[in-house]
Amino acid sequence: MKNRLFFIIVSGMLILATIKLSAQVAINNDGSSSDNSAMLDVKSITKGLLPPRMTAVQRNAISSPAAGLIIWCSNCGTSGELEVFNGTTWTNLVGGATSIPLAIGQSFGGGVIYYIDNTGVHGLVASPNDWGNYLQWGCFLTLLNGTSTAIGTGQANTTAIVNGCSQAGIAARICDDLIVNGYNDWFLPSKEELWQLHLQRFLVGGFTGYWYWSSSEYSDYDAWQQSFGDSNQQHEYKAFNVSVRCVRAF
C-alpha cells in the first residue's frame, strides 16, 4: 500500500513538472498542438475569446493593473470598447485615448443626454431647443388608443399618433418630421420620458415654455403634459396650444 501511494505521489509530481516545463496551452476541439510562438493558442470557428466586462468605474478600481491587461469597458463610448492598460494609463487597442463614458448633460447624438438606462450605453437625448410653443396635441374628441406612458414607448406613441391623426402641425408630427444635426429619428416623449427630461431641465437647457406635451393619450379629450415650471403633471385638452421638445433614443 505504501509503495502504491509513493508511486501515485511521484507520478503526480512528474505530471506537474511536465506541465510546468511545457507551459504552452492549446484550447481547441481538434486535438492540435499550440503554435510554437504562443503560450496560449485558442482555436475555434464558432466561438470567440471573451475578456472581462466592466464599467469605467470598475475598471479604474482595479488595483495595480499589469501592462497589457485587457478588458471590455461596457459604458465607454456609444456601445462599449475593448481597452488595454499600457503600464501608465488605459487606452483603446490602437493606443489612443479611451472613449468617455456617457453622462447626463453630455452633448451627444444631435442633442443633450438626459436619461441613461441601467445598461449604461442606452438612453434618451433631448433636441437642442423647443420646436414650437403653440402646438396642439391633435385630434380632439378622437380616441386613438395604443399609446403608453412608460419609458421606451415615445417612438411607438409618436408613430401611432401620426398614423391615426391626419391633422397637420400637431406636436407628434413636428417631432416625426424633424431633422436636427443629421438625425431624423426624433419623437414626442412619453409621459415618463418627459418626466425624466423635466428632472434634468437645468442640465439640458433651452426651455422657453411652461407646459410641454407628452405623446401619452389620456382620453378622446385629453393628453398628458408636464410643467417645466414645477413638478406637476396633468392631462389637458388636446386642442390646447402647448410647447414641444422632441427627443430621440440611443
- Per-10-residue mean pLDDT of the chain, 250 residues long, equals 50 48 77 86 89 92 95 86 94 88 93 93 95 95 96 98 97 98 97 98 95 98 96 96 97
Same domain, 233 and 119: yes
* Residue pair 190/149 in contact by the 8 Å Cβ criterion: yes
Same domain, 28 and 57: no
* Enclosing domain of residue 212: 111-249
pLDDT at res. 106 = 93
User: Is 13 among the domain residues?
Assistant: yes
pLDDT at res. 12 = 53
| Residues written for the chain | 250
pLDDT at res. 16 = 46
User: Is 106 among the domain residues?
Assistant: no
Please tell me the distance from the alpha carbon of residue 134 to that of residue 237, in angstroms, as a whole number. Answer: 13
pLDDT at res. 3 = 53
pLDDT at res. 211 = 97
Same domain, 69 and 192: no
pLDDT at res. 18 = 46
Q: Hey, what's the cell of 57?
A: 468605474
User: Is 130 among the domain residues?
Assistant: yes
Same domain, 94 and 179: no
Please tell me the distance from the alpha carbon of residue 93 to that of residue 58, in angstroms, as a whole number. Answer: 19
Please tell me the distance from the alpha carbon of residue 102 to that of residue 71, in angstroms, as a whole number. Answer: 18
pLDDT at res. 26 = 86
Q: Hey, what's the cell of 183?
A: 438625425
Quick count: other Cβ atoms within 10 Å of Cβ 96? 8
pLDDT at res. 63 = 96
How many domains does one find in the chain?
Answer: 3
Same domain, 115 and 65: no
